[in-house]
């Protein structure tokens, strides 16, 4: 009889490689920030392909797929009937909407939907008119920030409650990653605000995108670990 590959097993296999690749990409971002001459080397164009600060390259493709993997990790929690515990309707709805939310973020990572949304907000409100960030698209933060803050509250309350139903070790490990998710999500937004401020003042590139992308990777991987703990804890034997 053919054995189905469980999503939880797939995530378990991928976690370590994803961590190593993420660290490598962030190291490249920092190296290029401090010394952009790396791209002038014989194979410098390859390094540029892994610069997460740029658009439409291998690093961005990797991060987009990381978002998709997080979306996949929500599928068993939101849609599976193979769990030992039936979550209440709101929790299940939150998991289901998270699937589509992370799919959207994966798409956003590839085609920068947030910048179009930001420009729409700016054109409607005029908040960046006459500044260095006019027509840059930073207005998206006004849409995303409230979602992140509200989402962080629900992540804390829902995950904390569900983790308490698992064994002590799973609870302790899961709780740590929940904290990383909250810190990471809020820090990413704050980094974007700070970056926008510096661009507003001086219109110069800063080191903040390197930290921001690193924190974003940490947050996504924390989601994977935490969701996998829930899947393994609640799935039927």
- Judge whether residue 4 has pLDDT over 60: no
* Each residue's pLDDT tens digit, 112-130: 777 777 677 667 676 666 6
SS (H, E, C) the chain: CCCCCCHHHHHHHHHHHHHHHHHHHHHHHHHHHHCHHHHHCCCHHHHHHCCCCCCCCHHHHHHHHHHHHHHHHHHHHHHCCCECCCCCHHHHHHHHHHHHHHHHHHHHHHHCHHHHHHHHHHHHHCCCCCCCCCCCCHHHHHHHHHHHHHHHHHHHHHHHHHHCCCCHHHHHHHHHHHHHHHHHHHHHHHHHHHHHHHHHHHCCCCCHHHHHHHHHHHHHHHHHHHHHHHHHHHECC
The pLDDT mean for the chain works out to 84
pLDDT of residue 109: 85
3-state secondary structure of 235: strand
pLDDT of residue 151: 94
* Each residue's pLDDT tens digit, 43-80: 667 778 888 888 788 999 999 999 999 999 999 999 98
- Judge whether residue 2 has pLDDT over 50: no
Q: Are 83 and 234 in contact (CB under 8 A)?
A: yes
User: What average pLDDT does this structure show over 36-44?
Assistant: 67
CA neighbor of 221 nearest in space, from 12, 30, 5, 76: 12
- Token pair, residue 122, equals 């700016």
Place of tokens 């609870």: 171
Q: How confident is the model at residue 236 (pLDDT cuts 50, 70, 90)?
A: low
* Each residue's pLDDT tens digit, 17-35: 999 999 999 998 898 888 7
Q: Are 97 and 75 in contact (CB under 8 A)?
A: no
Q: How confident is the model at residue 111 (pLDDT cuts 50, 70, 90)?
A: confident
Q: How confident is the model at residue 181 (pLDDT cuts 50, 70, 90)?
A: very high
- Token pair, residue 109, equals 């990572």
Q: Percentage of the chain with pLDDT > 70?
A: 81
- The pTM is what? 0.87
């Amino acid at each position: 009889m053919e054995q189905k590959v469980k999503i939880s097993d797939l995530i378990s296999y991928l976690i370590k490689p994803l961590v190593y690749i993420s660290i490598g990409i962030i190291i490249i971002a920092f190296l290029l920030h401090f010394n952009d001459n790396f791209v002038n080397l014989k194979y410098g164009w390859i390094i540029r392909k892994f610069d997460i600060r740029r658009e439409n390259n291998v690093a961005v493709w990797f991060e987009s797929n990381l978002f998709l993997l997080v979306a996949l990790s929500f599928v068993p929690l939101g849609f599976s009937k193979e769990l030992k515990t039936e979550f209440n309707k709101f929790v299940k709805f939150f998991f289901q909407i998270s699937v589509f939310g992370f799919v959207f973020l994966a798409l956003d990572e590839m085609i920068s939907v947030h910048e179009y949304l930001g420009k729409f907000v700016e054109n409607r409100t005029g908040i960046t008119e006459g500044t260095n960030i006019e027509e840059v698209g930073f207005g998206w933060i006004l849409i995303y920030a409230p979602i992140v803050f509200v989402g962080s509250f629900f992540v804390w309350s829902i995950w904390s409650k569900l983790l308490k139903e698992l064994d002590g070790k799973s609870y302790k490990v899961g709780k740590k990653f929940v904290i990383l998710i909250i810190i990471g999500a809020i820090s990413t937004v704050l980094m974007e605000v700070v970056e926008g401020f510096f661009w507003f003042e001086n219109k110069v590139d800063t080191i903040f995108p390197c930290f921001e992308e690193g924190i974003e990777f940490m947050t996504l991987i924390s989601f994977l670990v935490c969701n996998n703990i829930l899947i393994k804890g609640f799935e039927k034997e």
